Structure 1
Amino acid sequence: MAQSVVLITGALTGIGRATALAFAKQGARLVVSGRKQEAGRALEQELRALGAEAEFVQADVRHESDVQKLVDKAVARFGRLDIAVNNAGTEGVRGPITAQDAESYAATFDTNVLGVLLSMKHELRVMQVQGSGSIVNISSTMGHRGAANASLYTASKHAVEGLTKSAALEAAASGIRVNAIAPGPVETAMLDRFTGGADKTAGMKAAVPMNRLGRPEEIADAIQFVTSEKAAFITGQIIDVNGGKTAS
């Protein structure tokens, strides 16, 4: 993994940030992206302080021109792209299906689904020429289960898993692996927004057999494993990391 070129979208907080720090500590060369310039520059400096070659590129994955420039800048800086982690996402608008509309649909799907589609489109464009690469999309346990009052988020993660499997089939002959990590509830600001309160977060924790929330660093560990040579025969898989939540 040392000296691999790693691109991470949604890298400024939570799982994305933990993943960037984990790769930096292993000597990877990093391009991290997000929508907030100040936070991005701060992360860039933090990664460099760990000894990593790192660059922040401001990008909004809802816009193809941003995604294309992001991938092109990564290749221009480092000459290739070995690993891509498509982590940018939103919890969307909670509430019953009867309260949803075209605007709330777009607010969720433009980031969670279109963003992953556009990211893979341009990552694969580079990786197919190389004949190698590994892509990880971030799904959720809700990507293969139902959840009341979270229909749009749930549906968007189901779509991410479908995109992952289809891309894996298309890319396998080119030496590229495409997988998804599906976290359970993880200690992030997004979880706090999603649950809407400490009591509801506690309820999600109680539903985890290990009786705790996951840590962003644990998801980063799973991402590092599945993008490594130790997982060289794994592609097209949705890998649950959830403390046993989907065991039954």
Structure 2
Amino acid sequence: MLVKQVRKWNGIGRTDLVCEAPGVTDLDVRAATPADFDFLLDMLVEAVNWLPERNWSREQILANPALAHYVAGWMQPTDFGLLAVDTAGRPVGAAWFRYLTAADPGYGYVSDDVPELTIGVVENWRGRGVGRALLRAVLDAARARGISTVSLSVERANFAARLYAAEGFRTVESFEDADTMVRTLRPPERANSRARSTAPPARSTAQPRAPSASVDGVRRTMPGRRRQAPRQGPRPQPGG
């Protein structure tokens, strides 16, 4: 079965979102809470172990600072995320953002003011559209918070990379086997209001901040800031 409909968290309340993938399963998407730490850790385990030959345990991940910092101390004041839950209320996937710093960068670090995304989907729910639905909903939540740019890191062999590209992410830095990708978020209603306007909008207000210049600036001024940890870093799970 593929996801037909979920209820999308828009930063204020839930609204219906009909996914493009056909199917019959209904899901609900709710905001993550401090009580969801254990499930987020489970989803980080799923994200890390997307390759069959990987088998990192919860204990190993929590003992590895390069991985643990995606969930340690959840939830911090600036953390936010969503859970997809089935009709019985059981969580089946999660997507969350966390701000990491130059002093403790994530695999997809761009700058201190750009939150990094992690996605995980329960194994037997993959391939049903859960990941795509979560991705769209959590991007809407970020947009509602006024966030203009988000980032993630994905290993090139992970077919989730194609999902992110299809959803508007672009690669800004490449490593041996992984890419850092960013997505610029247009403020709500910006496109519609601009289309209704008869006068050309001012450049400073009509266009969202492009991440390329700031991203490139960060790359040039902060060489070596990326962790040289094993490549078993947190990689968002495919869920398209």
> Which structure has more RCO (C-alpha within 8 Å, separation ≥ 6)?
2
Give the TM-score of the pair, scaled to structure 2. Answer: 0.32
Give the TM-score of the pair, scaled to structure 1. Answer: 0.31
- Greater helix fraction, Structure 1 or Structure 2: 1
- Greater strand fraction, Structure 1 or Structure 2: 2
